Structure formats: C-alpha cells, structure tokens
Structure 1
Amino acid sequence: MNVIERIRELFAQRGNSQYGHEAVSQLEHALQAAALAESDDASDALITASLLHDVGHLLHDLPDDAPDQGIDDRHEELAAAWLTDHFGEAVSEPARLHVAAKRYLCATSGSYRKHLSPPSQLSLQLQGGPMSSDEVAAFRAHPWSNDAVRLRIWDDQAKVSDLRTPDLEYFLKYVQRCLPAGDAPAPTTTDPAQ
C-alpha cells in the first residue's frame, strides 16, 4: 500500500473520532489546519505537515480521553516517526515540533496561553508546560522552528464546528508533490489510440 492509500485508510478508519474534547473530528481538524496553511500561502510541504501533524492520533491505540487520565499520548513523536518514513524534514519536523511550539508560545507570548482551548490547556500540562529560557533558546535555534510556530497557530485555529473546507482528496495533491519519486504512485496513463 502506498502512502496516499495509507493516509486515505487512516482517515477512513479513525478520522471521524473526536479530536480530544474539541468540537471537531480528527479529519475536520486536519482539513481545517491544511486549509489555513493554504490560505496563508504556505509551501506544499507545510500544507502537508498541517494536514498530517496529528496523524499520531490515528496511529496509537490510546483512548480519546487519555489526557483526562493524565496520559500524554506523545502523538507528535508517533507522527514524526511515521512522516519521516515517507517525507523529508520540511514535512516531518514542523509536525514533530508542533507541541514544542505550543510550549514555546506559552513561554514567549503573554496572550497566547489564555486563548488556548480547555483541552489544549490540559494537554499543555502533560506536555511539560511553558518552556524554560534554555528550552526557548534551543527551540529558536532549530531550523524548522518558524514553520512549527506557523503550524501551531493554524492548529489552534482549526477547531471550528461545521466549517466547510475542501475534502481530503483536494489536499492529497500537496501530499503527492512532497513524496520522493520512488514513493509516489505511478501516474495513470491512457493509450491515445483508444
């Protein structure tokens, strides 16, 4: 199964599950994040990262209420490992760092934290809370930190109930363009004589 088929399968199997205690499903959240990235003229890789940043939620077997049980599902690490198997760093690193970007913004922006949804506030505590000054400096020095912060902001905004967005198939064109040539499905060819 190629990666495009696997993405379709993951969202078909688990995309309708609740995104934490937010008002959207996993699929709605992914599509909204990708739509926000596209509307902000992000690169193909960053749109792909936005679409797939929470794929770790679709890969683990923990219950949806894991944070309520005091469990950090470490979905960003699962996502990064899976994405690294299929894409370059321009996709995998912003996804891997999107939780760190939340911690960074909580440490560096006085207003950011108060705008987090209650479920995001809860997960923040499980994820280590706001960064220390040393962690802030290390995060700023990371080559993908700016993209991670952009993704994080779209992530926070991608929780609107009943918001219309393009569907998964629409965004898979960005995913397709980010795949190494050997991992991309073969193009469909037709015989012009037929």
Structure 2
Amino acid sequence: MQTVAFTQMKDGTTEEYQFLRSLEHRYIRSLPERLEGALQSLGSGLQGYQISRLEHSLQAATRAEADGADIDYIVAALLHDLGDELAPANHSQFAASILRPYVRAEVTWVVEMHGLFQMRYYAHHYGDNPDGYLAYQDHPWFVACCHFCERWDQAAFDPSYPTKPLAYFMPMLREVFSRTAFDPAILQAP
C-alpha cells in the first residue's frame, strides 16, 4: 500500500490505519532532524542583534550546560526561541508545546513563561510593564524561570562567548526526542 483509499477518516480500515501508524512512527523518529533544520533557519531570521537567533539558541544551551543543567534544560535552552519565525507573538508557548511531550512539566512551564519573564529586562524601554512576571512569584517554578532567563537567555547575545556548534547538541536533541511521548515517569506533572 502506498496511500490509503479513504477520503474521510471515518471510512478507514484497520489495515489502512496500521499502515498510517507505521509511517507516523517513522516520521516521529525523524523529529530531531526536522528540529535541526528549524534551528538552522534561525540563522537568517530576525536582524538587529550582534548574533543570529541560531547563535543565541546555541549560546543559551552552551550556558545551560556550563551551569550544570540537566539534558532537559539544555535542550529547552536550545529550542526556547524556535517559535520566533512562525509565532513571534507567542514564541514561548510554541516552543513549550514542542517540548511538552518529552520533558518534565517544570521545564515546559519555564519555556512557556520565559517570554513574559524576559520582559523585566526591556519592557520599560517600550513603556510597557516589566513586572508582569511577578504575578507568578508564588508559583513553585518561579525561581527556575528567573534563573533560566537571567543565566541562559538574556545573557546569550555575546558574539565573543565560546559557543558550541549545533552538531554538539544533536545527540542530546535525539535523546530527548526519542523518549516515549507523554511518559508519566518523565513528565512528573504536579
């Protein structure tokens, strides 16, 4: 079988859905390579900074590793701005949704909230409120998000920082995205 015969999902047969499932499993296994391509596209995206968004992402991941972060946080730092091209107004949520099935809930929350938390560094320059993140000061992962932003994200715009290349992080990306999606043992949801 090369394609299914049905034109409406409700008409599919067990054989067709088994065929599609096998293709889906192969497609899911190739997610790290598609993420690599998406990261590489950040090399020519948003202008104006001294480094590209790709270099920023690599630098954030390098900084996370240098701080002793675990693999979930290193991969999260690598992917945290992946949504800049396709979802600039909600890039944090975009990246978090990609990570959510594969990393623990804390890491997903930190990535999802980093856009708001980052505003403390620059919002006042636009006449916006830099303190919106304080609404979450009682959240159990508030400090973790502050740390992520302070140590790895807002500091990762330095063209002279010794940043590791994307190839270095690919084995970590493959490891995280080869996990079983939504595995309760990994997610550790509250």
Question: Normalised by the shorter chain, which TM-score bucket?
Answer: 0.5 to 0.7
Paired letter, 1:94: V
User: Within the alignment, does 1:5 sit opposite 2:33 as a pair?
Assistant: yes
- Deviations, residues 119-162 of structure 1 (Å, cap 9, x unaligned): xx269749x52225xx62x4122232222112211211111125
| Equivalent in 118, 129, 144 of residue 102 of structure 1 | 118
Q: Report the CA distance shift for 1:42/1:21 in structure 2 as closer, same or farther (over 3 A).
A: same
| Equivalent in 78, 100, 104 of residue 84 of structure 1 | 100
Paired letter, 2:81: D
Paired letter, 1:47: I
- Structure 1 stretches of 5 or more lacking a match? 63-72, 107-112, 114-120, 184-194
2-structure distance, mates of 1:169, 1:147: 27
User: Contact (CA 8 Å) 2:51, 2:159: kept in 1 or not?
Assistant: yes
- Structure scoring higher RCO (CA < 8 A, sep ≥ 6) equals 1
- TM-score, normalised by the number of residues in structure 1: 0.66
| Percent of aligned positions that are identical | 27
Which residue pairs with 1:158 in the alignment? 156
Which residue pairs with 2:136 in the alignment? 139
> Shift of the alpha carbon at 1:27?
0.9
- Deviations, residues 72-102 of structure 1 (Å, cap 9, x unaligned): x221122222222444324322111112222
Q: Report the CA distance shift for 1:39/1:169 in structure 2 as closer, same or farther (over 3 A).
A: same
Which residue pairs with 1:130 in the alignment? 130
Bigger Rg, structure 1 or 2: 2
Paired letter, 1:142: H
- Structure 2 stretches of 5 or more lacking a match? 1-26, 182-190
2-structure distance, mates of 1:123, 1:24: 23
User: Contact (CA 8 Å) 2:71, 2:172: kept in 1 or not?
Assistant: yes
Q: Report the CA distance shift for 1:84/1:41 in structure 2 as closer, same or farther (over 3 A).
A: same
Paired letter, 2:130: P
Paired letter, 1:92: T
